[in-house]
Amino acid sequence: MARKDLLDIASLTRDEIELLLDQSAPFKELFTRSVKKVPALKGKSVLMLFYEPSTRTHSSFEVAAKRLSADVTNFDVAHSSITKGESIRETVETLQAMRTDYIIVRHGRSGLPGMIARQTKASVINAGDGAHAHPTQALLDAFTIKEKFPDPTGKKVLIIGDILHSRVARSTSTILKKLGVHVAYLGPGSLVPKTGPENIRRFTDYREAMAWSPDVVYLLRVQMERQDVQFFPSLREYHRLYGITDARLEEIRQRGLYLMHPGPVNRGVELCDAVMDYERSLINDQVENGIAVRMAVLYWLKPGAELINLK
Ligand code: CP
């Protein structure tokens, strides 16, 4: 079924997810060629509407759109009429009048991309909304895991950290469960919600969580900007209890586990410096795969797009 928007992972079927992951592979293969561009979205316009800071998502969407030959406009929120009090609705109506084909939106308010999608004919892609969803992050995480485990059914992923405020935890655990992966959460009791998705083990003790035998440990960024009260005694204490210290990295290395993090990393909080040289760290793979997956998403939402074959 053709879709206009990509707003979350929960509403995608397993077949749609598998299709998007399959379609990402030929786009990744394109990166090894001397010409990394295809004319798939020639003549289409993409508008980047980021109300929150971003390095990876913003730049990889821009690169993805350009590699598909689309025209990209970066909407400069800080210098727009939004600073003069213009509402999001008026902003979207103005952008709609420009007949843009795609709006890629990041906003601190959960549900805002969905609201924009209902107001515009453009395809809206959620690039992260509040603590709600980050669907393209989930897709790139699943793609990265599938590169290591082509059939990930029954594999175990331990997600560590600030689950409560994390749209990444929400979307990535949803996609992994749809693919038959076992997911567990580890973090301070104050940051691991007791309610929420079923079939997710919850741990507050690092040793107990590692005894669950994960194949992948997935660290989340501690989102200080979304914490208006103190959820743990100090960052130092957090690192001691839940961070990947030098000693824990050694254990992870001995056990041959993969390590992931969506970025940006709080060095010395979630991860010690030595993780950057860990041979089974997939952090850079996640960044590279983000471009391929976002190309697949942009192409998938194009009206009348057929299965991609770059051969
Ligand atoms: N993972 C992620 O969303 O990173 P950015 O905030 O840099 O886009």
pLDDT band at 50 (very low <50, low <70, confident <90, very high): very high
Q: Domain limits of the chain?
A: 14-133+288-300, 135-283
- Closest atom, ligand 1, to C-alpha of 127: 3
Kindly report the protein residue whose alpha carbon is nearest to atom 3 of ligand 1. 57
The whole-angstrom separation of Cα 311 and Cα 309 is 6
The whole-angstrom separation of Cα 32 and Cα 36 is 8
Instruction: Give the distance (Å) from ligand 1 centre to CA of residue 137.
Output: 8
- pLDDT tens readout for residues 167-211: 999 999 999 999 999 999 999 988 898 777 778 999 999 999 999
Same fold, 14-133+288-300 and 135-283: yes
| Three-state secondary structure call for residue 201 | strand
Instruction: Give the distance (Å) from ligand 1 centre to CA of residue 56.
Output: 5
- Closest atom, ligand 1, to C-alpha of 134: 3
- pLDDT tens readout for residues 244-284: 999 999 999 999 999 999 999 989 989 999 999 999 999 99
Instruction: Give the distance (Å) from ligand 1 centre to CA of residue 311.
Output: 32
pTM of the complete model beyond 0.85: yes
User: If you write DSSP's letter for every residue of 78-102 in order, what string do you get?
Assistant: GGSGGGGT--HHHHHHHHHHTT-SE
Lowest average pLDDT, out of 11-15, 50-54, 256-260, 306-310, goes to 306-310
- Closest atom, ligand 1, to C-alpha of 60: 8
Compute φ and ψ for 117, nearest 5 degrees: -60, -35
Kindly report the protein residue whose alpha carbon is nearest to atom 5 of ligand 1. 54
Q: Which residues contact 299 (CB under 8 A, 6 or more apart)?
A: 23, 27, 40, 41, 68, 305, 308
135-283 — its CATH code?
Answer: 3.40.50.1370
- Closest atom, ligand 1, to C-alpha of 52: 6
Instruction: Give the distance (Å) from ligand 1 centre to CA of residue 263.
Output: 6
Cα–Cα nearest to 166, from 111, 112, 222? 222
Mean pLDDT across 224-235: 67
pLDDT at 229 over 70: no
Q: Which residues contact 81 (CB under 8 A, 6 or more apart)?
A: 91
pLDDT at 233 over 80: no
The whole-angstrom separation of Cα 124 and Cα 249 is 40
Per CATH, domain 14-133+288-300 is 3.40.50.1370: yes
